[in-house]
Structure 1
Amino acid sequence: MLDLHRLRLLREVHDRGTIHSAARALGYTPSAISQQLSVLEREAGTPLFERVGRNIRLTAAGEVLVRHASTLLAGVEAAEAELATVAAGRLAGVVRVAAFQSAFLSIVAPAIRALAATHPDIRVEAAEAEVEQAAPALRLQQLDVMVGDEYDGQPRAVHADLLREHLLREQIRVVLPLDHPEAGAERVQIARLGDVAWACCQPGTGHREMQVRVCRELGGFEPDLRYSSDDFLILFELVRRNGAAALLPDLVLAHGAPGVAVRLPAEGSVGRTVFMLTRRTRTPTVTAVADALRAAAATSL
Structure 2
Amino acid sequence: MIELRRLRVLREVHVRGTLHAAAQALGYTPSAVSQQLATLEREVGAPLLERVGRNVRLTEAGRVLVRHADALLEGADAAASEVAAVAAGRLAGPVRVAAFQSAFLRIVAPAVRRLAERQPAIRVEATEAEVEQAVPELRLHQLDVLVGDEYEAQPRALHPGLQREVALRERIRIVLPADHPLASAERIRLADLADLPWAVCQPGTGHHEMHLRACRQIGGFEPDVRYTSDDFLILLEMVRTTGAGALLPDLVVGYEAPGVVARPFAAGGVGREVFLLTRQARTPTVGAVVEQLREAAGAAARRLG
TM over 0.5: yes
Q: CA RMSD, aligned part only?
A: 1.1
AA paired with 2:118?
T
Residue 33 of structure 2 corresponds to 33
Aligned residues: 301
Q: Is the 2:103–2:251 Cα contact (8 Å) retained in structure 1?
A: yes
Q: Does 1:155 align with 2:142?
A: no
* 1:193-230 C-alpha deviation (Å, 9 max, x unpaired): 12111001122111111111111111111111111112
SS of the residue 1:282 aligns to: coil
Q: Does 1:98 align with 2:105?
A: no
Residue 191 of structure 1 corresponds to 191
Residue 272 of structure 1 corresponds to 272
Quick one: distance in 2 between partners of 1:14 and 1:283?
25
User: Which aligned pairs between 1:248-259 and structure 2 lie closer than 5 A?
Assistant: 248-259=248-259
**Structure 1 residue 49: Cα displacement:** 1.4
**Structure 1 residue 299: Cα displacement:** 0.7
Residue 181 of structure 1 corresponds to 181
Moved more, 34-43 or 16-25: 16-25
User: Which aligned pairs between 1:193-272 and structure 2 lie closer than 5 A?
Assistant: 193-272=193-272
AA paired with 1:291?
E
SS of the residue 2:182 aligns to: helix
Residue 116 of structure 2 corresponds to 116
**Structure 1 residue 133: Cα displacement:** 1.1
Q: Does 1:55 align with 2:55?
A: yes
Quick one: distance in 1 between partners of 2:173 and 2:249?
6
Q: Normalising by the residue count of structure 2, what TM-score does the alignment of the two structures yield?
A: 0.96
Quick one: distance in 2 between partners of 1:237 and 1:40?
53
Residue 81 of structure 2 corresponds to 81
Quick one: distance in 2 between partners of 1:236 and 1:269?
20
**Where has structure 1 moved over 3 Å in runs of 4 or more?**
none
Percent of aligned positions with the same letter in both sequences? Answer: 68
Residue 167 of structure 1 corresponds to 167
SS of the residue 1:71 aligns to: helix
Quick one: distance in 2 between partners of 1:41 and 1:29?
19
SS of the residue 1:90 aligns to: coil
AA paired with 1:177?
P
Q: Is the 2:95–2:125 Cα contact (8 Å) retained in structure 1?
A: yes
**Structure 1 residue 20: Cα displacement:** 2.5
Q: Does 1:70 align with 2:95?
A: no
Quick one: distance in 2 between partners of 1:133 and 1:53?
25
Quick one: distance in 2 between partners of 1:153 and 1:17?
30
* 1:251-280 C-alpha deviation (Å, 9 max, x unpaired): 101321211121111221210000000110
Q: Is the 2:199–2:235 Cα contact (8 Å) retained in structure 1?
A: yes
Residue 16 of structure 2 corresponds to 16
**Structure 1 residue 178: Cα displacement:** 2.2
Moved more, 161-170 or 67-76: 67-76
Residue 295 of structure 1 corresponds to 295
Quick one: distance in 1 between partners of 2:272 and 2:21?
31
AA paired with 2:93?
G
Quick one: distance in 1 between partners of 2:288 and 2:265?
39
Q: Normalising by the residue count of structure 1, what TM-score does the alignment of the two structures yield?
A: 0.97
Quick one: distance in 2 between partners of 1:123 and 1:57?
36
Quick one: distance in 2 between partners of 1:178 and 1:94?
44
SS of the residue 1:142 aligns to: coil
**Structure 1 residue 31: Cα displacement:** 2.8
**Structure 1 residue 184: Cα displacement:** 2.3
* 1:19-47 C-alpha deviation (Å, 9 max, x unpaired): 23222222323232122212211111011
Quick one: distance in 2 between partners of 1:58 and 1:159?
20
AA paired with 1:30?
P
Name stretches of at least 5 consecutive residues in structure 1 with no aligned partner.
none
Q: Is the 2:93–2:123 Cα contact (8 Å) retained in structure 1?
A: yes
Q: Is the 2:218–2:269 Cα contact (8 Å) retained in structure 1?
A: no
